[in-house]
Structure 1
């Protein structure tokens, strides 16, 4: 397989994978392009490579910056903005976990804490309290695991993962 075909297939696959971690296809494709780039890329480089509009590129680069998956770099003597990403898979996984926790798990824990004080002695209210208490317990355990993962280093994580897969 030639490099150009492999690159295209990788970017397309990473774009599809992006929806699994809560980002849109184009955002993930830009991230894939940044991961394999040997030099920082400009918005124009990204637009040309992925054949997307300036608005689409800017919106998704802003989202990558918000997620902490890309950062701007400056080149001396240049006015253009350049973008890079960390290429370490553990850093990527940690950042995605941190953002998904913030965007998905933290709000549901807050909601479950709010609704757990529901009043009433009828069967529906009792069942509601039980189910939401169980969900809150599960969510807090997931939160604890994610916090441990986010604060861990790669050696610890892969050591534990290795034990689980034996």
Structure 2
């Protein structure tokens, strides 16, 4: 298989997985494209390779920068900006976990805490059921936050990374 064919398959697969992770297919495809190159690509090169509009590329690249998965670089003598993906898998996974925690878990936790603190009126059995649901969900979200924090600590610890790799 030629490199370009493998790269194309990777970009398509990563794009499809992206929607499962809560990001757009376009954002995931651009990320996959940038991951597949050791050096940076310009917006024009990204547009050409993934067949997306300039606006779509610019929006998604900015979002990848916000997720700390891509950085912008300039090259002396070039007017264009180049975008380079982080290639360390542990850093990528940590940044994704932290961003998803910030965007998904923290707002849900705040909502659940607000609802748990509210005085609910209604049929006693229904109120108890709803409060039990809120409590269970709050416990689950707390466990997910703890797991995310644990993964961050593991990713920051070279010894733990080597240990996990050794037992895998």
Decide: shared fold, TM above 0.5.
yes
Write out per-residue CA displacement over residues 100-147 of structure 1, whole angstroms, 9 at most, x where no aligned residue.
111111111110000002324712112211110111011111101101
Q: Are the counterparts in 2 of residues 149 and 157 from structure 1 also a CA contact under 8 Å?
A: no
**1:159 aligned to 156, 160, 163, which one?**
163
Q: Structure 1 CA distance, aligned partners of 2:142 and 2:165?
A: 21
Structure 2 match to 1:52: 52
Compared CA separation, residues 37 and 55, structure 1 to 2 (3 A): same
Q: Are the counterparts in 2 of residues 15 and 27 from structure 1 also a CA contact under 8 Å?
A: yes
Count matched residues.
164
The within-5 A match list for 1:70-109 is: 70-109=70-109
Q: Structure 1 CA distance, aligned partners of 2:113 and 2:94?
A: 26
Compared CA separation, residues 159 and 19, structure 1 to 2 (3 A): farther
Residue 130 in structure 1 maps to residue 108 in structure 2:
no
Q: Structure 1 unaligned runs (5+)? A: none
For normalisation by structure 2, the TM-score amounts to 0.89
Q: Structure 2 CA distance, aligned partners of 1:139 and 1:162?
A: 30
Q: Are the counterparts in 2 of residues 40 and 84 from structure 1 also a CA contact under 8 Å?
A: yes
Q: Structure 2 CA distance, aligned partners of 1:19 and 1:151?
A: 27
Q: Structure 1 CA distance, aligned partners of 2:12 and 2:57?
A: 16
Structure 2 match to 1:12: 12
Shift of 1:90: 1.1
The within-5 A match list for 1:31-46 is: 31-46=31-46
For normalisation by structure 1, the TM-score amounts to 0.90
